[in-house]
Amino acid sequence: MSREGYAELVQDLCDELGLGEAGQLLDQGVLQVDDNLVGLEHLEERDEVRMLRDLGEIGPDVDRGALIELPLEANLGNTTFCLPTFSMHPETGHPIVAYHVPLGGLLEEEIDLAFVCSRST
């Protein structure tokens, strides 16, 4: 997919989320959805869009051991379409979810990128 096609896809996402022009998202690759940061990247060689979402700070009452174990178990047993992968940010300690979404599915509107961005928590 060309850079122009990706730019059009990102503009459609911005329109659907009410974010205005896509220029800043295309330049920086980061947007704010609810209280969380979402990064978008076009992976031309894999014909995919990679989305990273910071799931936020871990509350003081959360068992960190369980929080590490649960996402690892989810990664191992995951067979869903976009294969979300969970990890922990090395600097912030926040849980992160990564999606690799096929461009074909996005372009043919089989997958709604705005839905994935807003529902990944």
Torsion sign over Cα 12, 18, 20, 25: negative
Beta-carbon count within 10 A of 44 CB:
11
The pair of three-digit structure tokens given for residue 107, joined into one six-digit string: 């372009």
Global pTM reads 0.74
Residues 27-41: pLDDT tens digits?
888 888 777 788 889
The pair of three-digit structure tokens given for residue 105, joined into one six-digit string: 């599915």
Which residue do the tokens 């369980």 mark?
A: 66
Q: In this predicted structure, what is the pLDDT of residue 61?
A: 92
The residues, ordered by sequence, that sit 6+ positions from 21 with a Cβ below 8 Å of its Cβ are 11, 14
C-alpha distances in angstroms, 3 versus 47, 93, 118?
Answer: 11, 33, 24
DSSP state of 45: G
Residue 116: what residue type? V
Instruction: Show pLDDT as tens, one digit a residue, over the chain (121 residues).
Output: 567 778 888 888 888 888 878 888 888 888 887 777 888 898 888 888 898 989 888 889 988 888 788 888 888 877 776 778 888 889 998 899 998 888 777 777 767 777 666 655 4
What class is the 3-119 domain? alpha beta
DSSP state of 44: G
